Structure 1
């Protein structure tokens, strides 16, 4: 289990937030001015989806956590003001999603995140 130097951010706190039933605990880990870049099949590297601030991130998390799916953090490494983690999700119908995130911390909060995700095609 890793802990960012001089902060309350640690992998167990992140695990509980990711694996929770709502996005509220996860949202509380983001700085007010956080930026989240998402790369996937629909938002490719040259044109990622970019969310600015907790308001936009909250809307995305509300959507994701309103779905009938489970979330599991597979692993996390925290070193200084950086962290990386893997998350696997599964919808009730068996469709799986895998995401990898690299985050930058500021004062114990997520300031920047790059998420790369892929999901089963039907």
Structure 2
């Protein structure tokens, strides 16, 4: 009898979630108890915005995906229970956003994520 494989987290699933227009696809990649930290100009490293659980993450994703903007997965590296990726976004008015994320995986789902983002000013 073989050893059961762990659920996989793959780049194409992440791409479909990020680049799609439905936040539910991206939300399905998170564990129920996931923690999501955001660092940017207004939520600096000493006081990041921290979202706890899929309900809080869902509200944030619904807000982001309700905006008139595009999302593109630029690069993704997955190794064991960790992954990192770069995402670029552009609002309809041309303002660009770049974010870098480091994630920890558990059972093929995102358990922890730290996102650092910057906007055009």
Q: Which of the five TM-score ranges fits, normalised by the shorter chain?
A: over 0.9
- The two structures, once aligned, show a CA RMSD in angstroms of 0.9
Question: Deviation string for 1:43-94 (max 9, x for gaps)?
Answer: 0000000000000000000000000000000000000000000000000000
In 1, distance between residues paired with 2:114 and 2:6?
23
Give the number of equivalent residue pairs.
117
After TM superposition, list the pairs within 5 Å mapping 1:83-94 onto structure 2.
83-94=83-94
In 2, distance between residues paired with 1:80 and 1:69?
32
TM-score (norm 2): 0.95
> Which structure's CA Rg is the greater one?
2
In 2, distance between residues paired with 1:68 and 1:110?
26
Matched, 1:60 2:49: no
TM-score (norm 1): 0.94
Aligned partner of 1:81 in structure 2 is 81
In 1, distance between residues paired with 2:115 and 2:104?
12
Which consecutive unaligned segments of at least 5 residues does structure 1 have? none
In 2, distance between residues paired with 1:8 and 1:43?
32
Aligned partner of 1:14 in structure 2 is 14
